[in-house]
Amino acid sequence: MSDETPLGFETRMIHAGAAPDPATGARQTPIYQTSSFVFKDAAHAARLFSLQEVGYIYSRLTNPTVAVLQERIASLEGGVGAVAAASGHAAQIMALFPLMGPGKNIVAADKLYGGTVNQFGQAIKRFGWSVKFVDMDDTDAVRAAVDDDTRAIWCESLANPGGIVTDVEAVSAVAKDAGVPLIVDNTMATAALWRPIEHGADIVCSSTTKFMSGNGTAIGGIVVDSGKFDWMASDKFPSLSQPAPEYNGLNFGEALGPMAYTFHSIAIGLRDLGGCQQPQNAFYTLLGLETLALRMERHSQNALKIAEYLEGHSAVDWVSYPGLKSSQYHERARKYLPNGAGAVFTVGLKGGYDAGVKLVDSLKLFSHLANIGDSRSLVIHSASTTHSQLTDEAKTLAGAGPEVVRLSIGLETADDLIADLDQALSAR
């Protein structure tokens, strides 16, 4: 195989970014559990600090274990670079940090993970930023929401918790016309099922805590840059298009081209915000990535079988899963998610809030906890937990009304999961 032959996804999820350890020959990427790194000499240190040379200074900025994770996920998503963060929420702030300033806003989907709705709707106000929540299915509304102070459009590829499939190509067209980047949260699908950059996304942001690690052991987040957005095209992004005083007037856009956003996120974002991913968590996530495609295939197969079962159950009012033929997003899922519609979906129970609480309390094989993407099947009543900070109106808008239960289907035998659901629904 020549060097020019592109490697397949499964090959890259095992090999991208990694090589045998040069010091020991260790085949698995070591955990470089160190705070800092020794410089070769004073000149070497000066080059690193002035960004004239890439290397390791301090693990808040760069770490060899984390670097492998960043390169691997960038390869899988089809980006030029990536920056790992301490959590998915840290990654979201990292993604916005190079773009925003006081008085600036983002246009975001109104169907988002509840924690993201709260972060955007409340926490970012403290930075002087604001958000406009819009139905991403209505591209005219998205276009109308963009103004001179908008600095990004944000959506989820598969919206959590309802499994709504965003028409990324349509939203990307709006972002391009507006001259702002489209940021897509790809946590629910992962690059194994959907690569938003191939459909027009400029930046991909994900929680590595979920399917990428795959076993509920490691908290983390990732921001992947496509390298395709022209930061020098306007004066909207001075952090990337104007001289940076903290680096002796370095212009990231001019000096670093397609890697400008990634280098800024490391050299300034991680340096000043400090939300770095720990090397041990990066190590666990690298182990998870080695089986990502296999797991996402089984997750999707199990989820479809269970969604079909629940759709026909007398205690269930509705099921929101794009893999179902009855879903309004089924055709869109066939386009964007040909290898499976993911593992997470919501169920509306007859009986409302009380029925939802009864179900989660009656399940035995499912684990009742606030996570998705585990090898184990998980369940949660969103209205009383993940979306509890929202108003009743906002909960319903986000797909987390009182009757809604979210399921994250794992890798167990599907018939065993169906049996558990059957006994729990009978216990109502």
User: Whole-angstrom Cα distance, residue 67 to residue 61?
Assistant: 10
Given a contact cutoff of 8 angstroms between Cβ atoms, the answer to whether 240 and 254 are in contact is no
How high is the pLDDT of residue 3?
A: 59
User: Whole-angstrom Cα distance, residue 343 to residue 372?
Assistant: 9
CATH entry 3.40.640.10 includes domain 25-288 = yes
User: Whole-angstrom Cα distance, residue 206 to residue 67?
Assistant: 16
Rounded to an integer, the average pLDDT of 252-258 is 95
Q: What percent of the chain has pLDDT over 70?
A: 98
pLDDT digits (tens, 9 = 90+) for 103-134: 999 999 998 988 898 899 999 999 999 999 99
Q: Specify the DSSP class assigned to residue 8.
A: P
> What's the pTM value of the predicted model, to 2 decimals?
0.94
pLDDT digits (tens, 9 = 90+) for 284-326: 999 999 999 999 999 999 999 999 999 999 999 999 999 999 9
For the chain, domain boundaries = 25-288, 292-426
CATH entry 3.40.50.150 includes domain 292-426 = no
How high is the pLDDT of residue 325?
A: 96
- The span from the first CA to the last CA of the chain, in angstroms, equals 59
